[in-house]
Amino acid sequence: MMIRINLIRHGKTVGNLKNRYIGTTDEPLCPEGIRELPVGAYAGSQAWFISPLRRCLETAALLCRAENLQCTEESMEDVVRTFLREENREIVTDFRECDFGIFENKNYRELAGCLEYQQWIDSGAALPFPKGEAPDAFRKRCCRAFEYAVDRICTENWQEVCMVVHGGTIMSIMERYAAPGRAYFDWEVKNAGGYRLMLDPKIWRERRQLGGYEALHMGN
């Protein structure tokens, strides 16, 4: 039987609205990000695997919330706490976003004139982030985390699962496991977007490959 994995990027934050590099910065969802999420849309999911950062925990808590109640920035802490008390909620540390080093929490306008930024752009985003994480190391840890989660899903025989992570995490996973293959940046998704993955446990065990996918669109 095919397993469905909803691979979802978190909702919008203030940094996202300002086009900043938001990696290790632990921002909450902004009011617009909260409003755009379809509360309770994935309440029937059997298990959740989530990045440890607030924007992902808040997104997961809202998508899982059975009651379609009005949520605010102030009430989000209680919503997340309630979500994490339920069974089959696992925080996966290596699903966190890339450490952007000296580019963290800045956008391209704020980095104009920065020599290291221009060198990184000229490399086609291949260079390690200065005082941050190397792209290859980031992608490898995301894929290790995904394999861990999928192996657990197969062992538990869950059929419908959600993973709430980051844009870079999603691109890393899709570049490695989706077929036919595409380049890393071709898998970019907007906030609250993502992919519904179809996974055959037999194919996964033999080839470490997805059985298929389709795009998810929840935000604007």
CA–CA separation, 161 and 201 (whole Å): 14
Q: What is the mean pLDDT of residues 55-76?
A: 81
pLDDT of residue 1: 81
**Contact in structure between 13 and 22 (CB atoms under 8 Å):** yes
Query: How many domains is the chain built from?
Result: 1
pLDDT range class, residue 220, cuts 50, 70, 90: very low
pLDDT digits (tens, 9 = 90+) for 160-177: 999 999 999 999 999 999
* Cα distance between residue 39 and residue 190, in whole Å: 18
Q: Which helix (H) or strand (E) holds 149?
A: helix 135-156
Measure the CA–CA gap between 50 and 43, rounded to whole angstroms.
15
- Write the pLDDT tens digit of every residue in 91-132: 999 999 999 999 999 999 999 999 999 999 999 989 999 999
Dihedral angle over CA of 96, 218, 58, 5, nearest 10 = -60
Tell me the pTM.
Answer: 0.94
- Give the number of C-alpha atoms closer than 13 A to the C-alpha of residue 16, restricted to the C-beta side: 21
The tens digit of pLDDT for each residue in 26-47 reads 999 999 999 999 988 999 999 9
The crossing angle, in degrees rounded to 10, of helices 135-156 and 167-177 is 70
Q: For residues 131 and 3, give the distance between their C-alpha atoms in angstroms, rounded to a whole number.
A: 39
Rounded CA-CA distance 74/57 in Å is 15
Q: Tell me the average pLDDT across 69-73.
A: 65
CATH number at residue 207: 3.40.50.1240
Band (pLDDT 50/70/90 cuts) for residue 65 is: confident
Among the listed residues 11, 195, 8, 15, the one whose alpha carbon sits nearest the alpha carbon of residue 100: 15
Q: Which residues of 10-26 are buried (b: 16+ CB within 10 A; e: fewer)?
A: bbbbbbbeeebbbbbbe
User: What is the extent of the structural domain holding 114?
Assistant: 3-217
Which residues lie below 8 Å from residue 179, measured CB to CB, with a gap of 6+?
A: 209, 210
Length of the chain: 220
